[in-house]
Amino acid sequence: MSENTRTEISSLGEFGLIEHLTKNFETHNASTVLSVGDDAAVIDHFGKQTVITTDLLIEGIHFDLMYTPLKHLGYKSVMVNLSDIYAMNATPTQITVSVAFSNRFSVEALDEFYEGIYVACEKHGVDLIGGDTSSSQKGFIISVTAIGEVAPDKFVKRSTAQKGDLICVSGDVGGAFLGLTLMEREKRIYLENPQIQPDLEGEDYIVGRLLKPEARKDIIEFFAANDIVPTSMMDVSDGVSSEILHLCRQSNLGCNIYEEKLPIHDAARKAAFKFGLDPTVCALSGGEDYELIFTLKQEDYDKITLNEEIAVIGYMTDIEEGCKFQTKGGNTHPITAQGWNAFVK
């Protein structure tokens, strides 16, 4: 397709557009009984339990199209939802995708967005089984619902951590927030002086963390292969400190977290220093890492030491102990939720 082609959505109409966007996608899961094209889809998880989650992505709140390629946005919209399914220790099987957009969007633009959606679906073995398409006066609005399956009662909640359990985080944290800080800085520079080209040299890692997060399917597979069932789990969307407080509150426990144990990527640490930010604050309060945070029984410690993708950052305590953070210097502070909150600017 030529770069300059612009097909108006009105030339296809709503139904023509839906047909255009979905016609080449085949379903792969046995659980997908009926897909796009009827009043509703039908799924059958054959005796397993069904897990369901939904998340909205709103232009200007969750993403900025000035620096977010549509293909990446499609991919990320799926990933943030799959991340919630994995956070239940479940396997995603289907998604629905609903979109609303203004006439500033062309058929080619939506094609790009759907390319990203399909790449994410293929990577995670998920079927797109429906959605809704509408127009919006201003801004691009995306709502994705993800459905998954889990063996009966094998899902992992936020509220079931026990005193003494180890608190673990997958991958590394803080990178996406630094990617966002970089993109917002470059955007500001560009708006002030459009002749200046963005300087993203050497920053691929943090930009990648923001624009193409990976839902941690591998961690759930590692649990299954090693007979590990976390005692509680959630994904890191709003920031580690905010998520730890959710686990503690819902499990009626306190915790001790150690600064020196926080997994921070070298590229993120370097970027933080460049921007005059504290990497620890970015790791605790930056959002959108889409890593998993979970608790494990202490006897499972040996099983995870060999997995370099899992860091133990602390342990659960009695509720009376409170939620505490110990700095590298040995000082102890109460943990406060300074993570992302859509209603606090």
Ligand X SMILES: Cc1ncc(C[n+]2csc(CCOP(=O)(O)O)c2C)c(N)n1
Ligand Y SMILES: Nc1ncnc2c1ncn2[C@@H]1O[C@H](COP(=O)(O)OP(=O)(O)OP(=O)(O)O)[C@@H](O)[C@H]1O
Q: Which residues contact ligand Y (rule: CB under 6 A)?
A: 55, 84, 237-238
* SS3 (DSSP) at 180: helix
Which residues face 314 on adjacent strands?
Answer: 167, 257
Which one of residues 32, 237, 256, 280 is an interface residue with ligand X (CB under 6 A)? 237
- By the 8 A CB rule, do 145 and 93 touch? no
Q: Is 190 in the site for ligand X (CB under 6 A)?
A: no
From Mg ion, ligand X, ligand Y, none, interface partner of 214 (C-beta below 5 to 8 A by class): none
- By the 8 A CB rule, do 43 and 30 touch? no
- By the 8 A CB rule, do 292 and 169 touch? yes
Which one of residues 21, 178, 180, 207 is an interface residue with ligand X (CB under 6 A)? 180
C-beta closer to ligand Y: residue 96 or 237: 237
Q: Is 241 in the site for ligand X (CB under 6 A)?
A: no
Residues 57 to 86: which contact ligand X by CB under 6 A?
Answer: 62-64
Binding site for Mg(2+): residue ranges?
Answer: 39, 53-55, 84, 132, 235, 238
C-beta closer to ligand Y: residue 172 or 238: 238
Half-sphere exposure of residue 188: CA atoms within 13 angstroms, side-chain side: 6
Sign of the C-alpha dihedral computed for residues 225, 228, 233 and 237 taken in this order? negative
Residue 160 tokens, joined: 């079931």
By CB under 6 A, how many residues form the interface with ligand X?
Answer: 11
C-beta closer to ligand X: residue 175 or 254: 175
- By the 8 A CB rule, do 117 and 78 touch? yes
Q: What angle do CA 187, 195, 109 make, to 5 degrees?
A: 55
Q: Is 170 in the site for ligand X (CB under 6 A)?
A: no
* SS3 (DSSP) at 296: strand
Q: Is 203 in the site for ligand X (CB under 6 A)?
A: no
Which of 50, 216, 225, 78 has its CA nearest to residue 143?
A: 78
C-beta closer to Mg ion: residue 36 or 215: 215
Binding site for ATP: residue ranges?
Answer: 114, 131-132, 158, 237
From ligand Y, Mg ion, ligand X, none, interface partner of 84 (C-beta below 5 to 8 A by class): ligand Y
CB of 341 to ligand Y, least distance (A): 9
Q: Which residues sit at the interface with ligand X, rule CB under 6 A?
A: 55, 62-64, 180, 237-238, 287-288, 340, 342
